């Protein structure tokens, strides 16, 4: 069964590329979530005045990969205690978050957040909210690292290989 989750892990170029490697992810799209203007452009979001966060829409086959596994993989790709900063990217548009469209996903999200929190002294700085809105980013941002293999990315190449090899134990 196909399901969806929206994940913000810093710059959306690397976050999208990372999730595309995971078996069971059937579609990804980069865009902007949970802001307060209509149809924002990248240039507008970049100003950090729109409230939007760079986010990746992830559609996955729940018969192949679970939400719990995807969220565990998400936490491997972020610094969950860093507020509004991932790698060299700073600003509210780079905050981390999990945005859900089904309240049925909340118990799983809460479970993974609780497990992750045990690994840190300081509180997690990862948003956990219902998706309010999502606008697709401009075409040149879609599949950016496929189009630009040497393009900027805050995630190390080894992490993409890790995602390609990751298999959920079911």
Q: Name the β-bridge partners of 74.
A: none
Structure tokens at 30: 């980069």
Strand pairing class (96-100; 89-90):
unpaired
pTM above 0.95, yes or no: yes
| Domain limits for position 39 | 2-165
Say whether pLDDT at 170 is over 80: no
State the catalytic residue, choosing from 5, 7, 11, 98: 11
- 153 a catalytic residue: no
Interhelix angle 157-165/67-76, rounded to 10 degrees, is 160
Strand partners, 136: 31
Q: pLDDT of 85-109, one tens digit each?
A: 999 999 999 999 999 999 999 999 9
Tell me, yes or no, whether 170 lies in a domain.
no
Domain assignment present for 139? yes
Q: Is residue 39 part of a domain?
A: yes
Residue 12's CATH number: 3.30.1060.10
């Amino acid at each position: 069964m196909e399901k969806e989750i929206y994940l913000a892990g810093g710059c959306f170029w690397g976050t999208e590329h990372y999730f595309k490697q995971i078996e069971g992810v059937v579609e990804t799209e980069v865009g902007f979530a949970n802001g307060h203007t209509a149809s924002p452009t990248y240039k507008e979001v970049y100003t950090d005045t729109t409230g939007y966060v760079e986010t990746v829409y992830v559609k996955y086959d729940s018969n192949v990969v679970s939400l719990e596994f995807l969220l565990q993989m998400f936490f491997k790709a972020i610094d969950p205690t860093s507020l509004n900063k991932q790698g060299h990217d700073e600003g509210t548009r780079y905050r981390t978050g999990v945005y859900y469209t089904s309240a049925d996903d909340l118990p799983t999200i809460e479970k993974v957040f609780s497990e992750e929190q045990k690994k840190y002294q300081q509180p997690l700085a990862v948003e956990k909210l219902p998706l309010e809105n999502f606008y697709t980013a401009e075409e040149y941002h879609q599949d950016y690292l496929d189009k630009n293999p040497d393009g900027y990315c805050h995630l190390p190449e080894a992490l993409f290989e890790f995602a390609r090899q990751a298999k959920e134990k079911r």
